[in-house]
Amino acid sequence: METQSSLFSPLLFLGMMMLFMYIFIIRPQSKRNKEISEMLENLQVGSEVIAASGILGKVKSINGEYVSIEVSETVVFKLQRSAIANILPKGTIESIK
């Protein structure tokens, strides 16, 4: 009987550790990745966005994995789609000026 309990204890600890990692690390990260990919799929011309570098602008065009962002009337940046950090509500850029 003593050998069974000594084998069961490390297996129970390992199982609990795997469950902890899934609940607190793996599941939230995969949920966040899904939210980001959905946000980037919903990106449209005219959307107001903020880039990962902090640049605010309106999406002027989307060409595959690249997005042109109009920062002012004369300045347009080309960024990778993955560099978009967030889509802002309409009118955000005007309210900041």
Distance of CA 7 to the CA centre of its chain: 42
Q: Are residues 37 and 69 in the same domain?
A: no
**Predicted local confidence at residue 75, as pLDDT:** 95
Long-range Cβ pairs for the range 62-68 (8 Å, 24+): 67/43
Distances 38 to 41, 45, 76, 87 between C-alpha atoms, Å: 5, 16, 25, 11
Q: Are residues 90 and 48 in the same domain?
A: yes
Q: Give me the helices (H) in the chain, please.
A: 2-21, 27-41, 92-96
**Predicted local confidence at residue 47, as pLDDT:** 92
pTM > 0.85: no
Residue 21 gets which letter from DSSP? Answer: H
Q: Are residues 19 and 32 in the same domain?
A: yes
**Predicted local confidence at residue 1, as pLDDT:** 47
**Predicted local confidence at residue 3, as pLDDT:** 54
Range with lowest mean pLDDT among 4-13, 25-34, 39-48, 69-78: 4-13
Q: Are residues 89 and 50 in the same domain?
A: yes
What is the tens place of the pLDDT at every residue in 72-91? Answer: 999 999 999 999 999 999 98
Q: Which domain holds residue 31?
A: 1-42
Mean pLDDT of 12-33: 92
User: Among positive and negative, which fits the CA dihedral 54, 55, 61, 64?
Assistant: negative
**Predicted local confidence at residue 7, as pLDDT:** 74
